[in-house]
C-alpha cells in the first residue's frame, strides 16, 4: 500500500503520512459518476487523493465540489481562490445546499462529517481547513470571526479617519479585510492634484492595521494574558512591491498571514488585491507587542431581578461578545 507525505497545517513541518486506500476500476467509475457535474480537474484531484491519500489534493476537490453547487454567475468568485469568500453572503449557499455539498464530499473523500461540526463553517477557507483537519485527524481550529466596522472601532487602537478597514475576519492563522476608497480621504486632496491616488504607504498601513487586529483577536496568548492594544507598534517591512494604481471607487481586499511569532515580535506576509488584480505585496511586515493581564470578568449580581420579565445584564467584553 502506498503512502503520501505532506506537511501539516500551521507550518510545524511535521510530516503527515496517509495510507492510500485500494482504488479499483469500479471505484473510478463510481467517482466519475459522483463528480459528473464537476470540472475534469476536480475529478483528477479526487482520483489522486483516493489513490495516494495525499491531502495536498484536497483544496482542488473542495473548490470543485463547491463550484458545482454555486450559481453560474457567482462561480467566477471562486477563480480567485479567496479563502475569505463567505458561503452564504458571497456564494449564496443556503443550509440545504450546504448539506448537498457535505454529502458529496463524504462520498468522494470516503469520510464522515457530523452535522454539529458544520455550524462554524462560514467561509471557503473554513471548509478547506475543516476537511484537511478531519482527514489528518487533527483538532479542528477555532472558527473564523467576522468583525463589522462598529466592532473594529471598539477594539482597534487606530481610529477614523486613519482606520483603513471597513470589515474584517480573523482566523487562527491570519486575517482578511476590505476597504473601499471613498474619495473623501483627507490625504487625497493633495495626492495628487486633480488625480486622486491612494498612497502605497497608506495601503501598507492598512495591512499593518490588519496585523494589529490579528494580534488583538486571533493570536494565541498565555492563560490570563492578552496582548495590550497600546503595546503594538510597527518595526519593519521588507519585500514591498506595488503592482497597481488604486483610485476612488476601488475596493481593496487585504490579507495577512502569520509567518512567525515569538514575544515580542510577530511577522506577517501581506497582499492587497482589487478584484483579481494584485495591488500591493509585502513579503514581511513585523510588529512588536507586549502581554498584559487580562481584565477580570464581571460577576453577575444574583440579587438583580428582571424588570417586566426582561433581565438587564451588564455589557460583556468585546472579545466575549464575538466569541459567543
In angstroms, rounded to a whole number, what is the distance separating the alpha carbons of residues 79 and 150? 31
Cβ 123 vs Cβ 83: under 8 Å? yes
CA proximity to 246, closest of 275, 209, 283: 275
Residue 191 among the catalytic residues: yes
In angstroms, rounded to a whole number, what is the distance separating the alpha carbons of residues 13 and 175? 22
Q: Regarding beta strands 277-288 and 174-180, do their DSSP bridges make them parallel or antiparallel, or are they unpaired? A: unpaired
CA proximity to 176, closest of 250, 251, 254, 257: 254
Q: State the burial class of residue 189 (Cβ atoms within 10 Å of its Cβ: 0-12, 13-18, 19+).
A: exposed
Q: How does DSSP classify residue 297?
A: P
Q: Which residues of 104-123 are buried (b: 16+ CB within 10 A; e: fewer)?
A: bbeebbeeebeeeebeebbb
In angstroms, rounded to a whole number, what is the distance separating the alpha carbons of residues 76 and 72? 8
Virtual torsion, Cα 218, 224, 228, 232, nearest 10 deg: -60
Q: State the burial class of residue 50 (Cβ atoms within 10 Å of its Cβ: 0-12, 13-18, 19+).
A: buried
In angstroms, rounded to a whole number, what is the distance separating the alpha carbons of residues 238 and 46? 38
Helix axes 95-109, 25-34, angle to 10 degrees: 170
In angstroms, rounded to a whole number, what is the distance separating the alpha carbons of residues 214 and 220? 10
CA proximity to 208, closest of 269, 292, 279: 269
Cell matching residue 146: 467576522
- DSSP structure string for 58-73: HHHHHHHHHHHHS-GG
Residues annotated catalytic, as ranges: 191
Amino acid at each position: 500500500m502506498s503512502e503520501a507525505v505532506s506537511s501539516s497545517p500551521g507550518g510545524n513541518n511535521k510530516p503527515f503520512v496517509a495510507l492510500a486506500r485500494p482504488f479499483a476500476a469500479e471505484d473510478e467509475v463510481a467517482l466519475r459518476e459522483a463528480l459528473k457535474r464537476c470540472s475534469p480537474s476536480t475529478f483528477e484531484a479526487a482520483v489522486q487523493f483516493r489513490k495516494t491519500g495525499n491531502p495536498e489534493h484536497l483544496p482542488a476537490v473542495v473548490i470543485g465540489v463547491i463550484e458545482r453547487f454555486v450559481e453560474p454567475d457567482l462561480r467566477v468568485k471562486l477563480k480567485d481562490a479567496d479563502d475569505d469568500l463567505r458561503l452564504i453572503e458571497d456564494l449564496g449557499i443556503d443550509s440545504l445546499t450546504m448539506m448537498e455539498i457535505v454529502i458529496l464530499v463524504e462520498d468522494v473523500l470516503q469520510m464522515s462529517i457530523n452535522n454539529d461540526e458544520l455550524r462554524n463553517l462560514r467561509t471557503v477557507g473554513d471548509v478547506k481547513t475543516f476537511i484537511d483537519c478531519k482527514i489528518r485527524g487533527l483538532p479542528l481550529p477555532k472558527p473564523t470571526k467576522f468583525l463589522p466596522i462598529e466592532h473594529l472601532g471598539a477594539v482597534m487602537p487606530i481610529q477614523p479617519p486613519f482606520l483603513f478597514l471597513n470589515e474584517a475576519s480573523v482566523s487562527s492563522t491570519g486575517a482578511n479585510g476590505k476597504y473601499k476608497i471613498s474619495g473623501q480621504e483627507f490625504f487625497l486632496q493633495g495626492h495628487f492634484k486633480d488625480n486622486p491616488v491612494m498612497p502605497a504607504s497608506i495601503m501598507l498601513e492598512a495591512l499593518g492595521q490588519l496585523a494589529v487586529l490579528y494580534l488583538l483577536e486571533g493570536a494565541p496568548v498565555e492563560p490570563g494574558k492578552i496582548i495590550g492594544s497600546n503595546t503594538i507598534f510597527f518595526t519593519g517591512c521588507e519585500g514591498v512591491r506595488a503592482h497597481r494604481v488604486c483610485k476612488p471607487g476601488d475596493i481593496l481586499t487585504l490579507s495577512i498571514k502569520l509567518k512567525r511569532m515569538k514575544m515580542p515580535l510577530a511577522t506577517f506576509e501581506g497582499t492587497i488585491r482589487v478584484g483579481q488584480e494584485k495591488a500591493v505585496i509585502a513579503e514581511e511586515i513585523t510588529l512588536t507587542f507586549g502581554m498584559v493581564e487580562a481584565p477580570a470578568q464581571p460577576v453577575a449580581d444574583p440579587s438583580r431581578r428582571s424588570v417586566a420579565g426582561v433581565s438587564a445584564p451588564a455589557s460583556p467584553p468585546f472579545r466575549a461578545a464575538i466569541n459567543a
